[in-house]
Structure formats: C-alpha cells, structure tokens
Amino acid sequence: MTTKKNETLYIGTILTVIASFLMGFIDAYTFLLQDEVFASAQTGNLVSLSAKLFLGEWRETMSHVWAFFGFVIGAFAGEAVIDRYQDRGMKKYSYYLLIQTTLLFALALFQQQLTSAVMLFSLGTLAGYELTIFRKFRDTSVNNGIMTGNTRNLMGYLYQVIFNKDSNAKAHLTNLAATVLIFMLGVGAGTLTIQINASYNLWAAFSISLLAFAWTTSHPARSP
C-alpha cells in the first residue's frame, strides 16, 4: 500500500510540474497574442474586465469574459472528470491527460482558423481544467497557474520556518517556491517560442502534453 501511495505521489508531482510549466507557457501566448488576457490568472482578468466595463469600453471586455467563462467551465469539468475516474488507479492520469492533449491538438491544428473568442474560451477551459486536476507537488497543495495563492502560502510557510523552526513548513516552502519558479520558466519559454514563431507555442504545448500522456500510459504500476 505504501509503495502504491508513493507511486501515485510521484506521478502526481511530475504531472503538476508539467502543468505549472504549461500554464506559464500558455499564459505567455494569451498575454502576448490575445489582447493581454491571462488564461489562468482570473484575478487579472476580472480587474481588466471591470476597469474596461466602467470605462465604457464594452467591446474590449469580451476577451476577458471569454477567458473567465472558459475557466469556470474547465474547473467544473475537471471536478466531473476527477469524480468519474478517481477510482481507476494509475490509469486515471492517462484519462486526465488524454482529454488535455486532445484539446491542445485541436487548438494547435486549427489555430489559424479559430476566432480569438473561441481560442480564449478554449484556453480558459484548459486552464480551469488543469488547475483542478493537477494540484499536488509532493505533499503540498499548489495552484499550478495562479501564483497569488502560492505566494501568500509561501510567506506563511516562511514565517513558520523562521520563527517556529517547523520542518514540515520548510518542505512545503520548498515545494511552493519550486512551483512558482517552474511557472516563471514556462512563461519565459513561451515568450521565447513566440519570438521564434507564434504558431509554435500551441504545437509545443501539445507536444509536451503528448509526451506526458505517453509516459503515464507506458509507466508500469509497481506492485505494493
């Protein structure tokens, strides 16, 4: 049982690392190419949406609306997928990634034909889905695409480490710091990819997701 738990924790952590990188990678795409909208950071979207709304810039608000509602639906769908596949053992990760990889393939393949509204809605859906599905970095609960909560928790654990000498807090602090760094690296990699060729971004995201899917599919489950 312990071996199986460790196996689940190991795979879950690797996939959360990949998800954090991908969220930064895709946020770079939406920010630079889709009217400075964020796929995952809905606080920023709501601030921009509300400011433009009260300034009377009605049309400019719609890009944020599409991303926000896509995120809401993605988070809801993520809960439904977890509920459906959580009892499938290690295979559940393959199901999770198959859905994600299929969506990214469709977006990459038809990116020149899709309207901005459809793209933002779809990427918002992907962000909500990933944020719901992949939330564990070792024993630490993290937000793979929303760094506000991670940063607040980071400071909470830092306080516990400095003033209470809490060894568990130190482990959580390290895990959260790694998550933030990986997200930032994803943003940087996404930005550099766009500078080379904007269309490569979604294809690269699809390729990363496909490799993760192939790994979980071929990864042998260890006997307890």
- Average model confidence (pLDDT) for the chain? 92
pLDDT (tens digit per residue) in 46-64: 999 999 999 998 888 999 9
Please give the pLDDT value at position 20: 94
Q: Give the helix/strand (H/E) hosting 202.
A: helix 200-218
Please give the pLDDT value at position 24: 94
Alpha helices in 86-199 (DSSP H): 91-109, 116-133, 147-164, 167-196
Whole-angstrom CA distances from 21 to 44, 93, 110 are 19, 17, 23
More confident residue, 49 or 5: 49
3-class DSSP state of 9: helix
Give the mean model confidence (pLDDT) for residues 104-125. Answer: 97
Fold of 2-218: Growth Hormone; Chain: A; (1.20.1250)
Contact criterion met (CB below 8 Å) for 103 and 130:
no
Give the mean model confidence (pLDDT) for residues 193-211. Answer: 97
Does the pLDDT value for residue 224 go beyond 70?
Answer: no
